[in-house]
Amino acid sequence: MEKPSKIAPAKGKLGVLLPGMGAVSTTFMAGVELVRKGKSQPVGSLTQMGTLRLGKRTDARSPLIKNFVPLAELKDLTFGGWDIFKDNAYQSAANAGVLNPQDLEKVKSFLSTIKPMKAAFDHDFVKLIDGPNIKKGKNKYELALQIKEDIANFRKTSRASRLVTCWCGSTESFVKPEDVHSTPEKFIEAMKSNHPMIAPSMLYAWASVTSGVPFANGAPNLTVDIPAIQKLAHDNNVAICGKDFKTGQTLMKTILAPGFKARMLGLEGWFSTNILGNRDGEVLEDPGSFKTKEVSKLSVLEYILQPQLYPQLYGTMCHKVRINYYPPRGDNKEGWDNIDIFGWLGYPMQIKVDFLCRDSILAAPIVLDLVLFLDLAQRAGMRGIQEWLSFYFKSPMTAPGLYPEHDLFIQSMKLKNTLRWMKGEDLITHLGQEYYD
């Protein structure tokens, strides 16, 4: 891809469309408004608090990212979305129980104005929840056209000059790529024939991409990770990225596993279990939805540790993942890990990690960063898969035949070097020899 010759300025409003207005979406929207009001800080957001180094270490040039690249400002964000429940964003946030009543009260009037559009929903893909706020149509193609109409109406009523869609809905049942996903033409025919392998999230992706709207996939669903949508993204000059927000337990794996590999420490086994009680936990009680999530979470260690290159260290490792729905825990999930490693002469050691995290608190700044970075990529003319945003995902999308980078530190370097590249700055290699010549 050629380096952008010019990045269009972030003029006007940026409309943020959110399929799924549950815990993550409402925590994100409430947080943005609290920050805009000066009532809180955007902790966890690289776009708002992160810096990047330019030039040599001795140059002392480390601007805030938001001052280095032309990102949309928080004051220009406006929100809309879809959900199977009719609750407005305030009611949904109160039900989710992520934010305390004092914080919610500060943004009640704002959140109460955000009401969900009817959602495209298929019970075959999310079996354990249901709701009344659902679109009707004779086939999936008709539903997708209704979503396109929603996008056009939101663009008009919100007076947004640009839009971004970020999937924050449920994990769907496991789907493998099939022939119906191979080309845009076959995909349309499959929607018209109500093919069982066309998931609701794919309808939102198709509607967004064909409307010229960038799309981020925050769930482990296939969604945009199929040739048909990728071809449409390329043809329509639309940026896409995914999949599955990297929040709690997998975030820890992408921090710890690179350290083991860097020091050539062996791994005999890694057992992970999760306890959570939010809607995501309820959905994942279904074996089909759990399979989708499991595949996403299991792939991380294989790619980071590369057992094919280091068979003595990682060739026989045992990696297991369990997810347990436990309603009393709510959104404050617990990720527990038992890690069996070995060192010099094969002597065994153990590491225990007990991460009592807040799932939506970790996900909300990811949504913000993805929205702002996708909008930036779109204005820079960067179309198709945005691999530089792998930093935010459990199962990063890549070009066909290319393995994904899961190492958080490689992903961070890739992201920041992409921003330097976009602005014509030297890439940072950390070689450092120039200081000793």
Q: Which residue bears the tokens 């191979």?
A: 182
Q: How many CB atoms lie within 10 A of CB 100?
A: 8
In 279-396, where do the E strands start and end? 318-325, 334-342, 348-356, 384-385
pLDDT value of residue 284 = 67
Sheet (strand 77-83) strand order = 117-118, 77-83, 13-19, 160-167, 215-217, 239-242, 384-385
Tell me the H-state helices in 159-226: 184-192, 200-210
- Note whether 385 and 230 are within 8 A (CB): yes
- Note whether 99 and 25 are within 8 A (CB): no
Element (H, E) at 268: strand 266-276
Distance of CA 16 to the CA centre of its chain: 14
In 101-173, where do the E strands start and end? 117-118, 160-167
Cα(34)–Cα(105) distance, integer angstroms: 10
What 3-state DSSP class applies to 195? coil
pLDDT value of residue 5 = 73
Residue type (1 letter), 203? L
End-to-end Cα separation, the chain, in angstroms: 34
User: In the chain, how long is the greatest CA-to-CA distance?
Assistant: 71
User: 25 is written with which tokens?
Assistant: 């979406």
Could you state, in chain order, the average pLDDT of each consecutive group of 10 residues for the chain (437 residues)? 82 98 97 98 98 95 98 98 98 96 98 98 87 96 98 98 97 93 98 97 98 97 96 98 93 96 98 84 70 72 95 96 86 91 98 94 98 98 97 95 94 98 94 86
Distance of CA 422 to the CA centre of its chain: 22
pLDDT value of residue 2 = 65
- Note whether 371 and 215 are within 8 A (CB): no
Residue type (1 letter), 137? G
- Note whether 164 and 17 are within 8 A (CB): yes
